[in-house]
Structure 1
Amino acid sequence: MSAFFQIEELFGRAAELTWMDRAACVGSDGDAWFPEEGGRPSPQVRRICDGCPVREDCLAYGSDWPGVWGGKTERARRKHDA
Structure 2
Amino acid sequence: MAGVAMITQFNRKRGVLQLLLLVSAFGLSFLFLSLAMSILPMAIAYAVWTGIGAAGGVVIGMLFYNESKHWKRLFFLSMIIFASVGLKLVT
TM range (shorter): under 0.3
User: Whose Rg is larger?
Assistant: 1
State TM-score, norm by structure 2: 0.26
State TM-score, norm by structure 1: 0.28
Q: Tell me which of the two structures has the higher relative contact order, counting C-alpha pairs closer than 8 angstroms and 6 or more residues apart.
A: 2
